Each structure stands twice: as structure tokens, then as C-alpha cells.
């Protein structure tokens, strides 16, 4: 039996949390219908501070920079104050590094992660010219690359066969 190291166990746990509670996001920033640049990130939001602290510990252990924020919500069925904690990884090199570590363990969000990872690997920042502000009204040189990548990302988010599957169970004999 192949025993997992403590680091592998933590990365597998983190992947499960990101799969179930997190978001792997990619969207395009536009300025008057002209694509300026893509934005990507890995987010985990939850009201369980112990879980958030465990994720922070893992991020610290692997040397990852992240943003932490707590928000107070007063809504919902119980009308009580609810504190929701958010951990966000949004720096390009940090996302690339985290995805490299967790992709082998992801299940539900694996295809999305692979699309972003491939985009980051194939398009180093020096290759992507950012046209911030877009004062010239020109289309960003990377317009087509961005569109293809976001379309691939949207396809990766689509679920597979959505046809219901009938399950059959045998009735136990008493």
C-alpha cells in the first residue's frame, strides 16, 4: 500500500474543501465591451473559523500568499449575525503554484483548474500585454486568447451527462 505523506494528506484535504466549499474562478474584465484582461482566483468562504484557520496553516506551510477577510451578515432565516470568513488566492504565480499542488486531488473542479493552469503556463505575464484603461479603444492584443480560454473555462464548468440514472437496489430478505 502506498502511504501518503502528511503534506499529501493536507493537500488532498485542501482539494476536497476547494472542491466542495470553494470557487475556482476566471472571468474577463471589460471596458465598454472590449476585453482588457482576465481575472482569476481561488476562493474559500465559510463561517467555520477552525476550517479557515486550517486552510491558512496549509497555505502558510506551502509558502502561499493569500488575502483574508471577515464579513458580518445579518440575514437569513434566524436573523442573527453571521460572520463569514473569506480566503482568496489571486496573485497569478500563487494561483499557478496552488493549482499545481492540488490538481491531482481535485474531482469536481478539476477541469476548471486544468484550464486556468494551462492558460497560466502557456501565457507568461511577459507574453500577455495588458491594455489597462483602454483609452485608445483598441482591442487588446490578446483578445482572441482570452476569449478562447474563457470559453474553455465555461465548457469545463458544464456538467457531463445530465441524464438521470436509475439506481436499482435489491430488497433484503428478512
In a domain? residue 165: no
Please indicate, yes or no, if residue 172 is contained in any of the structural domains. Answer: no
d(CA 158, CA 160): 6
Domain count, the chain: 1
The set of cell numbers assigned to 133 is 484603461
pLDDT at res. 158: 76
Range of the domain at 101: 6-156
Query: Can you say whether the dihedral through the CA atoms of 148, 153, 158, 160 is positive or negative?
Result: positive
d(CA 142, CA 125): 11
- What's the grid cell of residue 170? 435489491
Query: Could you tell me where the DSSP H helices lie in 62-131?
Result: 92-102, 110-122
Spatial separation of the C-alpha atoms in residues 43 and 67, rounded to whole Å:
10
Q: Is residue 135 assigned to a domain? A: yes
**Is 108 part of a structural domain of the chain?**
yes
Global pTM? 0.76
Establish if 55 belongs to a structural domain: yes
- Position 172 scores a pLDDT of 58
Task: Specify the pLDDT at position 133.
Answer: 46
Three cell numbers, residue 98: 496552488
Strand order in the sheet with 80-89: 22-31, 34-46, 80-89, 67-75
Check which CATH number belongs to the domain holding 107 and give it: 3.10.28.10
Q: How far apart are CA 63 and CA 7, in angstroms?
A: 13
H or E element, residue 35: strand 34-46
| pLDDT tens, the chain, 174 aa long | 678 899 999 999 999 999 999 999 988 777 776 666 778 899 999 999 999 999 999 999 999 999 999 988 776 655 677 889 999 999 999 999 999 999 999 999 999 999 999 988 888 765 555 544 445 555 556 667 777 887 887 887 776 544 554 555 565 555
Amino acid at each position: 500500500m502506498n502511504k501518503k505523506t502528511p503534506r499529501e494528506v493536507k493537500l488532498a484535504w485542501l482539494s476536497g474543501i476547494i472542491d466542495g466549499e470553494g470557487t475556482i474562478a476566471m472571468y474577463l474584465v471589460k471596458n465598454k465591451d472590449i476585453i482588457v484582461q482576465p481575472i482569476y482566483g481561488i476562493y474559500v468562504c465559510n463561517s467555520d473559523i477552525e476550517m479557515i484557520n486550517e486552510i491558512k496553516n496549509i497555505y502558510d506551510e506551502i509558502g502561499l500568499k493569500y488575502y483574508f477577510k471577515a464579513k458580518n451578515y445579518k440575514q437569513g432565516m434566524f436573523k442573527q449575525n453571521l460572520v463569514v470568513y473569506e480566503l482568496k488566492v489571486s496573485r497569478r504565480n500563487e494561483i499557478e503554484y496552488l493549482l499545481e499542488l492540488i490538481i491531482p486531488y481535485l474531482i469536481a473542479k478539476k477541469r476548471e483548474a486544468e484550464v486556468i493552469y494551462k492558460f497560466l503556463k502557456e501565457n507568461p505575464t511577459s507574453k500577455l500585454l495588458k491594455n489597462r484603461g483602454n483609452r485608445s479603444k483598441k482591442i487588446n492584443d490578446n483578445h482572441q486568447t482570452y476569449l478562447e480560454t474563457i470559453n474553455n473555462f465555461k465548457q469545463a464548468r458544464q456538467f457531463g451527462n445530465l441524464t438521470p440514472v436509475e439506481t436499482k437496489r435489491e430488497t433484503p430478505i428478512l
